[in-house]
Amino acid sequence: MTPTHEIPSHPTITFTVNGEACSFIMGDGSHELPPSYTLAQTLRERLGLTGTKISCDHGACGCCTVLMDGKAVLSCMLLTVECEGKEITTIEGLGNPVTGAIDPLQQAFIDNTAFQCGFCTPGIIMSAKALLNENPSPTVEDVKEALAGNFCRCISHYHVLDAVIATVKKGGE
């Protein structure tokens, strides 16, 4: 009377990253994903998606921002196990997967030189993208509010605001 279906002792977790399904077996074995892994760690260390940056690792700076079901989240503050069934988008997944064209927001960052060192840039672009998903025609004040959790030490803020507003204007044309 051996049971045929045992509950697996190592549960798996499955979610989508940039349109592709990925699953991990959770556990402390060498090929498993430790339950303590944050989403940021999983993205960077297991999926090679190093575009997502870790700065404070503490929920304070926004460098690790990614989209979860279209909304901005701090990937350093989320455990990977919390992502079951979610759709995650990282900076690498913006743009058109068919044509390979970058997102208009990314183009606006290039056109406005909306960065200096660029370390904060992926997080800022993802926060701005989440805002535009929710509100396609934000005011400058809305943008400032939405990006208030994003640290930029080089003070590229002014050019970032120009870039986001330029995207809004282009979208409205």
Partner 1 sequence: MKEYRFIGKSTPRKDALDIVTGRTKFINDLTVPNMLYGKVLRSPLPHALIKNIDTGEAMRLPGVKAVLTYKDVPDWMGGLPLHVRILDSKVRYVGDAVALVAAETEDIGEEALRLIKVEYESLPAVYDVEEAIQPGAPQLYEQFPGNVLPQGIPAFGPHSLRELVIGDLEKGREEADFIVEGSYAYENIPNPLPPESPGAIAAWEGTDTLNVWSASQGPHMIKVSLQRRMGSINLHSMGTPVGASYGSKFMSWQYVLPAAALAKATDRPVKFCYGRSEHLAAFTVRLGSRIHGEVGIKKNGEVTFLSGDWLVNTGAFSETSQAMVAVGCGEVQLMLRCPNWSLKPKVVCTNRTASGQIRGFGGQELECALLPLLTMAMEKADIDPVNFFKRNYVKPGDGYYWRDGNWWVCRGIDYTKAMEQGAVRFGWKDKWKGWLKPSSVKGVKRRGIGVGVHGNADVGEDVSEAYVRLDPNGTATIYSGLAEHGTGQRSNICKMVAEILQLPLDRVSVTPNDSRVNPYEMGPVGSRGTYAIGSAVIAAAEDAKRQLFEQIAPKFAVKPEDLETEDGMVYVKGKPGTGIPWIKGMDYDRTVMGRGRFEPDFALPNFMMIFTEVEVDTETGKVELLRVVGATDVGQIIDPPGIVNQLNGCLGSAGIDSALFEETVIDTQLGRIMNPNMIDYKWRTFAELPEMEHVILETPIPSHRFHAIGVGEIATSPGPSAILMAVTNALGVRIHDYPLTPDKVLSALGKINTAKRRVK
Q: Which residues form the interface with partner 1 (CB under 8 A)?
A: 34, 36, 44, 49-58, 60-61, 63, 90-92, 94-95, 102, 106-107, 109-113, 115-122, 125, 143-145, 147-161
Nearer to partner 1, 25 or 110 (CB): 110
CA 104/CA 145 separation, integer angstroms: 21
Residue tagged 């990937």 (tokens): 75
Residue 49 engages ligand FES in binding (rule: CB under 6 A) = no
Nearer to ligand FES, 50 or 55 (CB): 55
Neighbouring C-beta atoms of residue 115, cutoff 10 Å: 20
Of 76-115, binders to ligand FES (CB under 6 A) are 76, 115
Q: What residue type is 101 in one-letter code?
A: A
Residue 118 engages ligand FES in binding (rule: CB under 6 A) = yes
CA 163/CA 160 separation, integer angstroms: 5
Contact letters for ligand FES, residues 1-30 (x by CB under 6 A): ------------------------------
> 89: which strand partners?
67
Report the phi/psi class of residue 70: left, alpha or beta, with left for phi > 0 and alpha for psi in -120 to 50: left
Question: Could you say which of 16, 27, 47, 57 contacts ligand FES (CB under 6 A)?
Answer: 57
CA 43/CA 66 separation, integer angstroms: 10
**Residues contributing to the site for ligand FES (CB under 6 A):** 54-64, 74, 76, 115-120, 152-154, 156
